[in-house]
Amino acid sequence: MMEQRSRDPGAVRNPQNQYPSELMRRFELYFRGPSSSKPRVIREVRADSV
């Protein structure tokens, strides 16, 4: 995994690699509810509240 992070994105990839580098990018995602709702414990979050 660390080897993939340090790899040059413009370098020629081995065609036997399983996933393209575009799919291996890492993102941080934050959810923010309406200000009128009180915070919930993550175990209490259900589909109807998303």
Average pLDDT over the chain, rounded to an integer: 76
pLDDT tens digit sequence for 22-41: 888 888 888 777 788 788 88
Q: What is the pLDDT at residue 35?
A: 80
Residue with tokens 């979050």: 45
Q: Does residue 2 have a pLDDT over 80?
A: no
Which one is predicted more confidently, 2 or 41? 41
Q: Is 21 exposed, middle or buried (0-12, 13-18, 19+ CB in 10 A)?
A: middle
Please, which pLDDT band fits residue 8 given cuts at 50, 70 and 90? low
Which one is predicted more confidently, 28 or 8? 28
